[in-house]
Amino acid sequence: MPAWEEEAVSVRKFLLLPGLIRASVRLRRQGARGWEQFWSGVRRTGPGGEVLWDVAERTELDWCQAQADQHFDPALPVVDLGCGNGRFTRLLAARFPVVVGVDMSASAIRLADIESAGQPRVSYRVLDVADPDAMRTLADEIGPVNVFIRGVLHITPPDKRVNIAEGIAALAGDSGRVLLVETAFEGDPLAYLEYVGGGHGRIPALVRPLVGAGIPPPRRFARPELDRTFPADSWPRLDSGTIEMGVIDQDGQRPFLPIPGFFAVLRHVAAGDNESGNPPGR
C-alpha cells in the first residue's frame, strides 16, 4: 500500500477511535441497558431495516437450517440464545416442535412477538444468556434442548463467555446439541467499522445507534476463542469450519455485505466422561 494510502487509513481510524472509546465506557456503565436502548429504537427490520445483521440472506438461513436438520435431535425443543427480533427462531420453528427465543432486551422480545404472530411453535423470554442461574431455571422447565446461538459470543467479553457456556451446558444436558455461528473478521474493530461502511472517519449509519447505546463492534470469534470458551474435553466437536455471514450493505450496491464467519457444532459431556471412543476435539 502506498505511503499516502497508509496515512489516510491511519487518519480515518484516528477519527473513529473516540466513538469506540465512548461506546466502551457506556457499555461498562449500562450493561444490559445498552441493548434495551438499541432495540427500543428499532422500527424496521430485515433488508433495508435498521438492524445491521438482520439481512435475512437466504443462503445463510438455508445453511443454518440444514445444519440444525443434520445435528439437532428433532424431538427436542430448540432455544435460540440472543434471538433479537426472532429471525432465526422463526426459521427453526419450521422443523422443530417447540422453539424458544431468549434475549435480555424486552424491546427485542416485543418486536419478535409481533413479527412471529400466528406461529404457535414459537415463544419468547426476556432472560440474560450470561446468567447461568436463569439458564438453569429454563433448563429445569423445558430441558434438555438443542441450542442455537448466532452473533452473541463475538460481542461478549471473555469472562462472560464462560458464563454463557455454563448456561448452555445446563440447557443442552447430555442429549442436546449446540450450533454456534459467530463473526470471524480478521481485522481489529476499527477495520471492521471501515469494512461495513465507515469511510472518511465516519461511523456507519447502522452502527451509530449501537455505538450510542454502548455496544462495541464485534471481535473475532474462531477456533482459538472456541477452545478457550468451550474446552474440548467437556465439549466434543461434532463439526466446525468457516461460513460466510452477511450484514446489510449500507451503500445499497449489493443484496448483502459478506462477513467471514466461524461455526461449530458441539455436545456437552462431563469432563473426562467422553464415552464415544473418539477424540474430543476436531
- Which of 16-30, 113-127, 241-255 has maximum average pLDDT? 113-127
Among the residue ranges 6-15, 20-29, 48-57, the one predicted with the least confidence is: 6-15
Query: What percent of the chain is predicted at pLDDT more than 70?
Result: 83
Q: Is the pLDDT of residue 282 over 50?
A: no
Band (31; pLDDT cuts 50, 70, 90): low
Distance between CA atoms of 176 and 171, rounded to whole angstroms? 8
Summarised one tens digit per residue, pLDDT across range 175-205 is 999 999 999 998 887 788 888 876 656 778 8
- Mean pLDDT value across the chain: 86
Grid coordinates in use for 209? 445507534
User: pTM value?
Assistant: 0.86
Distance between CA atoms of 12 and 80, rounded to whole angstroms? 37
Among the residue ranges 31-35, 85-89, 252-256, 277-281, the one predicted with the least confidence is: 277-281
Spatial contact of 81 and 148, defined as CB atoms under 8 Å apart = yes
Q: Using alpha carbons, select from 99, 95, 94 the residue that is nearest to residue 112.
A: 99
For 111, half-sphere exposure in the C-beta direction (CA atoms, 13 angstrom radius) is: 23
Residue 73 has what pLDDT? 96
Which structural domains are found in the chain, ordered by start? 56-184+220-266 (3.40.50.150)
Q: Is residue 273 helix, strand or coil?
A: coil
